[in-house]
Each structure stands twice: as C-alpha cells, then as structure tokens.
Amino acid sequence: MLPKVIVHNSISLDGSLTGFEVNMALHYQIAAEYKPNAHLIGSNTLKKGLESYGDVALREEKGDFEKLNKDSSLPYWVIPDTSGTLMGSLHTLRRFEFCRDVIVLVSDITPKEYLDYLDERAYDYHIVGEEHVDLKKSLRLLSKKHGVKTVLADTGRILGNLLLNQGLVREVSLLVHPVIVGRKSYNMFSEVNGDGNYELIKGEKIDRDYVWLIYRVKR
C-alpha cells in the first residue's frame, strides 16, 4: 500500500520557489500540522541548505557511526541520492532535532564507496532502481518496512514535479507569499505535464498577508 504523499512548498504570487525570503516559521508550522512519518527531500536541496548554513564542515564524531535513540514520533528524512551527493554530510542531518533518522534511496549505479560509507554508519538505505530511484517502489517500501503512512515532500522543483507526473501525490499544499519575483522567477510547476485536475479543499489567510492553499489531486 502506498502512503499518502503531500507536496508542500512556499511560493511567490507568480509561483516561484526562489528569489524571495521564505517565512520559514510559517512554512514549518504548516508542515508540522500534517504530522508526517517521513519527509522526502532531494539531495541537492539538502546540500544547498547545508552550505547556506555552513554546517557541511561539522566533523564526524564517534556517535555518528551508530543510530541515535530518538523519539519514534519524529519523522524520518528520506533522501534519494544515487550519486552520493551527501557523502560526508549525513551526520549533520542525523543530528537535527526534528529528524528521527536518515533513510537513503539509491540505485544499481550508486558508487560502492557511498554504500560502504552508509554501512559503516548504520544508515538504512534501499536500492530501488537501475539508474534512477523508482519513486513508487520506494514509497511502497517505506510503508512496508518503516511503517510510513504520510510523506511530506518538502523539497525543490525536480522531485515534486516527478511525484506529480507519476501520479503519486494526493495533495498539494502551498504557502503563498505576498511578493512577485518576476523575471528571475523559478516556477514550481514548470516541468509538470499539466494533465491533472485539482480540487480546492482549503484556502486560509494566515499571518495577515499570507495564504495557505490545499488542493486535492482528483484521480
């Protein structure tokens, strides 16, 4: 059985993901309301986030080579990373307060060096694809092996668009910011096939000038 997948993003009035200051407090306040069992996050999105905070340089310690005993109600962070983009940085993510643990999705072409790195540090990882990660297979596996019922895809354009194009998304959650990016906009849905139908199930004005929209994907 597939878990419920919600794509959640903060966007500008003209649908851009970048080029403006995201209200992170509101963004994650909304994310928490879904009570997801897992966050599905792209490796490049995480790498850029770590670099922006300067956390990549944190040194590994002895405790980083074993699983942490964290609250089971916390969500897993599930990361498709076939090329080993986050090699040397996963310990920083594992330490985050609101991360239960990291689960990595890889493929047949993932370098052995990266798999050895994951094994040595007791990360759960799953080989789910020949070259690219098979998202449907991954979701089914997360449900069966890790008890995941709700997945929040709180990530960039590429992964969100793939999930939508493959018919794996149940809801789209958008926190609309009161700003227009214009010429430099990076459109959230530019790679979506555009053949879906959506039903508005929530429209709420919050914190004065922001709007939270939820659309259900109609099958």
Give the model confidence (pLDDT) of 164-181 as tens digits.
Answer: 999 999 999 999 999 999
Strands 150-153 and 4-11: parallel
Structure tokens, 178: 């009161």
Task: Please give the single-letter amino acid code of residue 126.
Answer: H
**Confidence (pLDDT) at 154:** 87
How far is Cα 3 from Cα 167, in angstroms, rounded to an integer?
A: 13
pLDDT above 90 covers what percent of the chain? 83
Please state, rounded to an integer, the average pLDDT across all residues of the chain.
Answer: 93
Per-residue confidence (pLDDT) for residue 26, from 0 to 100: 95
Find the mean pLDDT for residues 75-88. Answer: 96
Looking at residue 122, its pLDDT comes to 97
CA dihedral 25, 199, 163, 4 (to 10 degrees): 80
Give me the pLDDT at residue 38, please: 97
Instruction: Write out pLDDT tens, residues 186-204.
Output: 999 999 998 779 999 999 9
Q: Residue 56 pLDDT > 70, yes or no?
A: no
* Structural domain that includes position 63: 4-218
**How far is 47 from 65, CA to CA, in rounded Å?**
20
CATH number, domain containing residue 27: 3.40.430.10
Average of pLDDT values for 102-123? 98
Looking at residue 57, its pLDDT comes to: 55
Residue 55, pLDDT > 60, answer no
What confidence score (pLDDT) does residue 53 get?
A: 66
d(CA 103, CA 155): 16
The tally of domains found in the chain comes to: 1
Reading the block at residue 97, the tokens are 């307060």
CA–CA distance, 102 with 88 (Å, rounded to integer):
13
Question: DSSP for 108-151?
Answer: TTS-HHHHHHHHHTT-EEEE--SSS--HHHHHHHHHHHH---EE
Q: What is the pLDDT of residues 135-152, one digit of tens each?
A: 999 999 999 999 999 999
